[in-house]
Chains A and B, each alone.
Chain A
Amino acid sequence: MSEVIDRPLREDDKPAATRLRIVDCDVHPSLRSTDDLSEFLPKRWQQHLKEYGSHLRTPYLFTTPYPRSSPLIARRDAWPPTGGPPGSDLAFMQKQHLDPLDVEFGILQVLDLFIFSQQNLEFGAAIQRAINDWQLAFWSHRDPRLKASILVGQDGVDLAIAEIERCAKIGEYVQINVSPRANEPLGRRRYWPIYERAQELGLPLGIHVGGYGGHAPTGGGWPSYYVEEHQSNAHTIAAQLASLVIEGVPERFPKLKFVFIEGGFGWIPSAVWRMDQHFERFRSEVPHLKRKPSEYVREHFWFTTQPIDEPDEARHLRSLIEWVGIDRLLFSSDYPHWDFDDPRFAFKTPLTDAERKKIFSTNARAVYKF
C-alpha cells in the first residue's frame, strides 16, 4: 500500500516563541484603491490615470491580467473582512501572516498598476514615485517589520536614476526593483547607469517575475493558457540571468547583488551548467568575461524559494538545494497570492537547523543588511 498523506497538525508545526523568526522576501501589499495614492500622485497624473489609465504592450485586446487562477491571483482566505483586495489591510496581514508565521522582516513587492509595464515613461515614473512613498507611509512606518523597495522603470534610465537618488536620500529602502520584462534584456549597456548607482549605494537589485512586456514570455511565442504562462516565469528569468552574466554586468560591477524573486530555483543548475559549457567553447566571443559564468552566479545572485518545486522524491529537492547552494536561497512566501508557500510545510525535504536558519533568515539578513 502506498503512503497516504493526511498529516495532522504536529506540535512543532505550531509557531512558538522558540521557533526560528523568518525573513519573508516576497510580501505583496496592495492599494485599497487608487485613492490611496492621491496624496502622493500629482494632480496632473491623477487626471491621466482617470482618463487614460495604463498603456501596456500586451498584444491581445481585452486581456486583463486578472483573474489568473483566482480573483486578483489571491488566496481565497486572504480577502480582508473589512473589504478591499487581498494585501490591502495591514491589520489583517499582521493577523493572518506576519504574526502567526513569526515574520521578523517582510520585504514588500508591489505589483499594482502594472507598475513596471507602463509604456508612457513619464506616467510610469510618476506612479513609481507615488508607490515608493506609499510603501513607507502605509506600510513600513506602520509596521517596521515591513521593508520597502525603490521601484523604478529601467527603460527611462534618467527617470530611474532620479528616483533612486530621491529614495536613497530618504534612506529607508532595502533594494532597487527593476522589471524582468523591459524593452531589452537586462544585461544591455543602456541599463548600466542603474547598476552603477546601485553598486555605489550598496543596494541589491530585486527582479520580481511577471509583468507585461511586449515580448512573448517564451522563446516560442505567446502561451495559450495561464498554466503555460506561469511556467514561463522560469524561462524569462533564466534568460535574464544569462544576459546579465554574459553581457558582463557582474564583471563590470563586482560588488553588485541581484535577487531573483518568485522565479523558483529548479531551473538554475541546468541553465548554469549550459552557460559554463558554452563558455568553454566560445570564450573568444566574450573576452570581457574573466571567469566562468557559474562563478559570477555564485557570487552575485540570490534566489527566493517560492514557488518551490515539488518533485515526487524528496531527495531530488534536496540535491537541487545543495546544488544551487544553501547560501543562495532566500525564503519567500508570496503572500497573499494563490501560490503562496507556507514556511512550515513548503520544504518537503529535511533541512538541518543550520540550513533552515540560513534559508529562512540569515542569508536574507546578509543580502539586505538588517
Chain B
Amino acid sequence: MARHIVASTSEIPRGGNKVVDVAGRDIVVFHVNGEFFALLNRCPHEGAPLEKAACVARLTSPEPGIYQRSRVGEMLRCPWHGWEFDMRNGQSWFDPKRVKIRSYPVAVERGEELQKGPYVAETFPVHVEDSYVIVEV
C-alpha cells in the first residue's frame, strides 16, 4: 500500500468531493463534517459514478410514523437507483455483508510533517502551512 497526496484540505469543501486518479483507479474523496472518506468512484450495483451521489443522513424508523435521522451527511445515496452506502466503510445499508463499495484509508496531515517524510517527491506541491488529504492505495 502506498500513500498518495490527493488534495489540500481546503480544496474539498464540506459536503463536496473530489475525483482523483490514484494508481489507475478512479477514486472519489468526500468531505463530511471535517472528516474525509475515499471510495472507488463506482457503484457496485450498475456502476454509477458516485461523485454524483447525494450525501444523506441515515433514516430509521422504529415503527410506522416515527422517523429518526442520524449521522447526517455520512450516508451516500447512489445517483441512479438510490442504494445507500455507509461512507466510513463502503458497506451498503440493505445488504452490508454482500454489497459494498471499495473504500480506502484516508489521513489528513500537515504540510510540515509531509515535507519531513518521503512525500515531497510527489508531483503535488506541498506547502508547510497547509493540511493535506492522503489516500492509501
Give A contacts to B, CB under 8 Å. 2-9, 13, 69-70, 75-77, 338-342, 344-346
Contacts and interface: CB of A to CB of B under 8 A. Distances in A.
A339 B78 CA distance: 11
Given A2-B98, A76-B79, A8 B48 contact: no
4 tightest CB-CB pairs across the interface, nearest first? A76-B79, A77-B52, A345-B46, A342-B46
A77 B46 contact: no
Contact of A6 (B46, B97, B102): B102
A4 B52 contact: no
B100 A344 contact: no
A6 B25 CA distance: 13
Interface string B42-59: 101111110011100000
Contacts of A8: 25, 40, 42, 102
B99 interface: yes
Contact of B79 (A6, A77, A344): A77
10 contacts: A4-B97, A4-B98, A5-B44, A6-B100, A8-B25, A69-B82, A338-B81, A340-B81, A341-B46, A344-B46
A164 B82 CA distance: 39
Interface in B77-136: 79-82, 90, 97-102
A75 B44 contact: no
B49 A70 contact: no
A336 to B, nearest CB: 10
A6 B82 contact: no
A4 B102 CA distance: 10
Nearest to B48: A77
A70 B79 CA distance: 9
Given A77-B79, A338-B80, A340-B80, A6 B47 contact: no
A26 to B, nearest CB: 15
A7 B40 CA distance: 10
A312 to B, nearest CB: 9
B52 A6 contact: no
B40 A6 contact: yes
Contacts of B44: 5-7
- In this complex, the interface size class of chain B, counting residues with CB under 8 Å from chain A, is 20 to 34
Nearest to B54: A76
Nearest to B45: A345
A295 B97 CA distance: 44
A137 B93 CA distance: 45
B39 to A, nearest CB: 10
Given A6-B90, A75-B80, A339-B81, A346 B46 contact: yes
Contacts of B98: 2-5
A5 B40 contact: no
Given A6-B44, A8-B40, A338-B80, A76 B99 contact: no
A145 B82 CA distance: 30
A76 B52 contact: yes
* Most chain A Cβ neighbours within 10 Å, of B42, B45, B46, B99: B46
A301 to B, nearest CB: 27
A225 to B, nearest CB: 11
A338 B82 contact: yes
A75 B46 CA distance: 13
Contact of A342 (B47, B54, B101): B47
Contacts of A341: 46
Interface in B47-74: 47-49, 52-54
A75 B47 contact: no
A4 B99 CA distance: 6
B119 to A, nearest CB: 26
A1 to B, nearest CB: 9
Given A3-B98, A5-B98, A7-B44, 16 more contacts: A5-B44, A6-B44, A6-B102, A8-B40, A9-B47, A13-B47, A76-B54, A76-B80, A77-B48, A77-B52, A77-B80, A338-B80, A338-B81, A341-B46, A342-B48, A345-B47
Given A4-B100, A6-B100, A344 B82 contact: no
Nearest to A341: B46
B73 to A, nearest CB: 16
A76 B53 contact: yes
A5 B97 CA distance: 9
Contacts of A76: 52-54, 79-80
Contact of B101 (A2, A6, A9): A6
A2 B97 contact: yes
A77 B81 CA distance: 12
A188 B52 CA distance: 46
Nearest to B97: A2
A5 B91 CA distance: 10
Contacts of A340: 46, 80-81
